C-alpha cells in the first residue's frame, strides 16, 4: 500500500524565483520523481531533484503513531449523525501533546467509502492530550477508509489510515468510468481535447494557445453553479504511473462561462485528494501557487501505479467549499 502527501514546507520562494527557468526541466527532467515523496530511485536532475536536495520533501508514513477512533454509542449507522473521538498515540503508546498546524489545521480527516462514491474532508476539534472530536454523517453502510494527517511532536507530516464499518444499507456497486478514455464515441464532457499547449495556456483557459475558450471536449463537472474543467500535461489520455503530471482545474460560472475569483482554502488555492480503485494508493497534493490564477488552479501529482483513480479537487468560492470529482485511468 502506498501513501503520498504533499510536503507542508512551502517552496513558494524558490518557485517564484525559478518558475520561468525550471519549467522545461519540470516537464523533461523529472519523469521519475514526484513533488510529494522521495522515491527509492530519486530523480538526478530537474526541479524535483533540487527540491529533494533542499529538504523540501520526505517519505510520508505513520511513523509508528496510532490513531484510535471510537464512535459514540457503538457502531455508527448510515444516515444518522455520529460523534467520533480520535486519540493520537505516539510510538510508545502515550497521548501526543504537541501538534503543529498543517495547512491551518492540527489534523485533517479524510473519510471515503470503499466504493469511492462518498468523500468528506473534515477537521476535528482538538480537546487536548492528543484527543480530537468530530461529528459527521455516513451516507451509506459498509466499510469506510479513515485517513488522518497531522504533524506531531516536532516531526514531519504523518499519515495514518484505518477502516471503519458502518451499519445500514450499502449502495449498489457502480463501476468507475474514466473521463480520459473514450466511452463509445464523442460526447461533450467525456474526453480530453487532442490539442496541446503550455502551462500558461492551460491557466489562461486556452490549452491550444489560440482562444480564451476552454476546449469543449475536456472533461468537466458542474457543482454549486460552477463548471469545473480538467486539463493536463501530458494530455489526460497519456498519463503514466511514476511520471509527473500537471493537472489544471479551471472554474467558470455554469451557463455563462464568466470567470470567478477563488478564495484561499486552508492556506492554499486548492487541495486534491486521490485514491486508486482499491483505496490502497493515497495521494494528497496542494496547489502550485506560482502556476495558478484566480480561477484556474494547477497541481503537480504522480500516480504510484497503473489503474483507475478517483480524485476530488477542492476549492473555496463565496465562502463555500466546492468539491469536484473526476475518475482517471493511468497507464
What pLDDT shows up at residue 181?
Answer: 86
- The whole-number pLDDT of residue 31 equals 30
Q: How many Å apart are CA 227 and CA 212, to the nearest integer? A: 15
Mean pLDDT by 10 residues, the chain (331 residues): 46 38 34 30 36 40 96 97 98 97 95 98 98 98 98 93 97 93 48 35 39 64 98 96 95 97 96 96 92 96 95 98 98 97
C-alpha cell at 101: 498546524
- Residue 1 has what pLDDT? 55
> Measuring CA to CA, which residue among 171, 194, 164, 168 is closest to residue 86?
164
Strand, helix or coil for residue 16: helix
**DSSP sequence for 254-267:** TTT--B---B-BTT
Return the exposure string of 132-147: e unless at least 16 CB atoms fall within 10 Å of the residue's CB, then b: bebebebbbbbebbbb
Full set of structural domains in the chain with CATH: 66-166 (2.60.40.1930), 199-330 (2.60.40.1930)
Q: Count Cα atoms within 13 angstroms, Cβ side, for 299.
A: 27
Whole-structure pTM value? 0.77
Per-residue pLDDT, 48: 39
Burial class (CB in 10 A: 0-12, 13-18, 19+), 302: buried
Amino acid at each position: 500500500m502506498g501513501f503520498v502527501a504533499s510536503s507542508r514546507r512551502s517552496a513558494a520562494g524558490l518557485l517564484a524565483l525559478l518558475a520561468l527557468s525550471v519549467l522545461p526541466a519540470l516537464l523533461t527532467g523529472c519523469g521519475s520523481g514526484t513533488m510529494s515523496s522521495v522515491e527509492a530511485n530519486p530523480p538526478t536532475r530537474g526541479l524535483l531533484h533540487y527540491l529533494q536536495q533542499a529538504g523540501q520533501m520526505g517519505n510520508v508514513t505513520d511513523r509508528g503513531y496510532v490513531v484510535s477512533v471510537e464512535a459514540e454509542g457503538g457502531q455508527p449507522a448510515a444516515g444518522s449523525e455520529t460523534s467520533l473521538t480520535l486519540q493520537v498515540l505516539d510510538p510508545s503508546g502515550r497521548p501526543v501533546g504537541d501538534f503543529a498546524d498543517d495547512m491551518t489545521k492540527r489534523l485533517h480527516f479524510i473519510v471515503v467509502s470503499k466504493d469511492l462514491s462518498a468523500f468528506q474532508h473534515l477537521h476535528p476539534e482538538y480537546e487536548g492530550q492528543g484527543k480530537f472530536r468530530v461529528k459527521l454523517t455516513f451516507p451509506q453502510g459498509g466499510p469506510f477508509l479513515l485517513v488522518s494527517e497531522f504533524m506531531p511532536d516536532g516531526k514531519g507530516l504523518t499519515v495514518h489510515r484505518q477502516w471503519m464499518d458502518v451499519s445500514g444499507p450499502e449502495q449498489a456497486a457502480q463501476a468507475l468510468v474514466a473521463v480520459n478514455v473514450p466511452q463509445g464515441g464523442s460526447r461533450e464532457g467525456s474526453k480530453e481535447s487532442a490539442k496541446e499547449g503550455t502551462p500558461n495556456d492551460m491557466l489562461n483557459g486556452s490549452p491550444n494557445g489560440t482562444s480564451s475558450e476552454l476546449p469543449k471536449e475536456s472533461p468537466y463537472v458542474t457543482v454549486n453553479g460552477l463548471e469545473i474543467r480538467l486539463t493536463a500535461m501530458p494530455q489526460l489520455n497519456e498519463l503514466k504511473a511514476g511520471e509527473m503530471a500537471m493537472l489544471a482545474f479551471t472554474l467558470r460560472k455554469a451557463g455563462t462561462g464568466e470567470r470567478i475569483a477563488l478564495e484561499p482554502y486552508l492556506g492554499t488555492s486548492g487541495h486534491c485528494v486521490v485514491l486508486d480503485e482499491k483505496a490502497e494508493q493515497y495521494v494528497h497534493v496542494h496547489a502550485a501557487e506560482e502556476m495558478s490564477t484566480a480561477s484556474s488552479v494547477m497541481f503537480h501529482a504522480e500516480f504510484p501505479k497503473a489503474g483507475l483513480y478517483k480524485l476530488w479537487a477542492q476549492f473555496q468560492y463565496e465562502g463555500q467549499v466546492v468539491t469536484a470529482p473526476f475518475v482517471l485511468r493511468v497507464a
